[in-house]
């Protein structure tokens, strides 16, 4: 119980020190918040674009064309085999007559197609896989290709490759930006704590003279960095949330013109907790580096 009370006293002392210099504290919090909001905003936009890409592209499909001359019983067996496959969610059978009718209606070449002596289109199955990742889709296509009585198995994976490549580029850009700004935030906290140590040098010397341990002296500085990082994370969350409200207003006007319900996604509770935890850790880490480097240089005279 006593250690907990001591930590609460140190936290209370840290908050008072933050309030003693409101202008400097607010400036540091805003700098941290703006810096963190850049990668967080990029992450939010990336998640929204991924959801939008899924809406535009639709569900990936594999078209399985039956070879000419295949009996109805064999076609039925192929359908049953597809239904029982663990990687396939559902299938649709498209008879050749239905495919020809759709072709006549969509192309406007009813007279030309009607003059054909026989239907050139094959029976086909449309396969909807459970896993829409590129590797899973291509593996399923290659497996089905090896089955007998099939003329051709087609997977339109070009858009999948493009989408994944674009999202992969976006993820890497966000990671690099987050890493660079994390170092910047550690440097900000490092310098802030360094200045505090220098201004409180005499106080630290007296504390060491009366027997205070390094851990006792270090504790309020670490709390200062942690609280400053936490407040910076809250500022970043508010900046991102406010920006999303403004952007979603404009996006709503745009999507009405296209009869769409797309909107930018807000940070989930898990993402919000991660942001606050990460910003607190960065503040604590910067303070720890600063204290570790400068505290040992101060000894009682």
Three-state SS string over the chain comes to: CHHHHHHHHHHHHHHHHHHHCHHHHHHHHHHHHHHHHHHHHHHHHHHHHHHHHHHHHCCCCEEEEECCCCCHHHHHHHHHHHHHCCCEEEEEEECHHHHHHHHHHHHCCHHHHHCCCCCCCCCEEEEEECCCCHHHHHHHHHHHHCCCCEEEEEECCHHHHHHHHHHHHHHHHHHHHHHHHHHHHHHHHHHHHHHHHHHCHHHHHHHHHCCCCHHHHHHHHHHHHHHHHHHHHHHHHHHHHHHHHHHHHHHHHHHHHCCCCCCCCCCCHHHHHHHHHHHHHHHHHHHHHHHHHHHHHCCCC
State the pLDDT at residue 187. 87
Report the 10 Å Cβ neighbour count for 9. Answer: 12
CA-atom Rg of the chain in angstroms: 32
State the pLDDT at residue 16. 75
- Give the Cα separation of 144 and 157 in Å (integer): 16
Token pair listed for 211: 């027997």
Q: Is 242 exposed, middle or buried (0-12, 13-18, 19+ CB in 10 A)?
A: exposed
- Give the Cα separation of 117 and 98 in Å (integer): 17
- Give the Cα separation of 125 and 136 in Å (integer): 18
Q: For domain 61-156, give the CATH number.
A: 3.30.70.3040
Domain boundaries, the chain: 2-56+161-297, 61-156
Which value, to the nearest 10 degrees, does the dihedral of the CA atoms of residues 212, 215, 216, 222 take?
A: 150
State the pLDDT at residue 233. 92
- Give the Cα separation of 167 and 162 in Å (integer): 9
State the pLDDT at residue 28. 85
Report the 10 Å Cβ neighbour count for 91. Answer: 19
**In terms of Cα–Cα distance, which of 227, 220, 224, 241 is closest to 276?**
227
State the pLDDT at residue 299. 61
Token pair listed for 61: 């499909």
Residue located via tokens 């609280």: 227
- Give the Cα separation of 64 and 124 in Å (integer): 5
**In terms of Cα–Cα distance, which of 56, 75, 55 is closest to 65?**
75
Which regions of the chain are under pLDDT 50? 112
């Amino acid at each position: 119980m006593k250690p907990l009370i001591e930590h609460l006293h140190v936290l209370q002392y840290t908050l008072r020190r933050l309030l003693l210099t409101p202008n400097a504290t607010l400036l540091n919090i805003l700098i941290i918040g703006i810096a963190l909001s850049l990668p967080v905003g990029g992450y939010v936009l990336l998640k929204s674009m991924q959801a939008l890409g899924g809406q535009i592209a639709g569900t990936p499909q594999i078209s399985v064309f039956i070879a000419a001359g295949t009996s109805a019983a064999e076609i039925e067996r192929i359908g049953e085999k597809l239904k029982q496959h663990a990687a396939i969610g559902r299938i649709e059978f498209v008879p050749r007559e239905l495919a020809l009718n759709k072709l006549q209606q969509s192309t406007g070449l009813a007279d030309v197609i009607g003059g054909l002596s026989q239907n050139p289109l094959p029976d086909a199955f449309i396969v909807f896989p459970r896993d829409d990742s590129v590797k899973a889709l291509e593996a399923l296509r290659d497996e089905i290709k090896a089955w007998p009585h099939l003329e051709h198995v087609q997977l339109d994976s070009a858009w999948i490759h493009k989408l994944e490549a674009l999202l992969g580029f976006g993820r890497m850009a966000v990671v690099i930006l987050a890493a660079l700004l994390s170092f910047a935030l550690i440097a900000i906290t490092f310098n802030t704590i360094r200045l505090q140590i220098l201004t409180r040098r005499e106080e630290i010397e007296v504390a060491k003279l009366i027997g205070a341990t390094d851990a006792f002296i270090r504790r309020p500085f670490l709390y200062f960095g942690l609280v400053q990082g936490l407040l910076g994370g809250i500022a970043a969350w508010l900046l991102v949330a406010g920006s999303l409200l403004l952007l979603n207003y404009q996006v709503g006007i745009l999507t009405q013109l296209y009869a769409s319900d797309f909107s930018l996604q807000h940070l989930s509770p898990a993402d919000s907790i991660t942001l606050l935890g990460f910003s607190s850790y960065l503040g604590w880490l910067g303070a720890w580096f600063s204290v570790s480097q400068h505290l040992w240089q101060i000894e009682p005279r």
